[in-house]
Structure 1
C-alpha cells in the first residue's frame, strides 16, 4: 500500500521538526546508494516520514565461458 504525504486539496501543511543523523560520509568509494523513504505514521494534521540509505551491492561477475 502506498501513501502520499501530499495534503488533501485545499489543505496546507508545514514542517514541525527536521532531524538528520549523519553517521558517515558518502564518498566516491561508497559506490551506488539506494534511499528508501517511508511513511511512519500519518494523522489528520501531522505525518511522520523516515528514510534509510543503503549500499547497492555490485553485480556478481558472470561465469567465464569454458570451451
Structure 2
C-alpha cells in the first residue's frame, strides 16, 4: 500500500480590519492610546457603518514593519 503525501493546509484568510480593542491587544498599547493615535491622524482607520476599523497595513506602518 502506497502512502500519499499529506495535503498542504490552505492558508488562513488574513484579517484585514481590526477593532480598537483588537488593535490595542495586537500592539500592546492601551485603548485610549489607540483612540488618541486615530484622532491625531497617526493611525489611519476606516469607518464602516457605526464601526471603526484599523487596517492591518496601518498597524504594520505604525509599528514600523510596513
TM-score bin (small chain): under 0.3
Structure with more helix by fraction: 2
> Which one has more relative contact order, counting CA pairs under 8 Å at least 6 apart?
2
Which structure would you say has the larger Rg? Answer: 1
Structure with more strand by fraction: 1
Q: If the length of structure 1 is used for normalisation, what is the TM-score? A: 0.23
Q: If the length of structure 2 is used for normalisation, what is the TM-score? A: 0.24
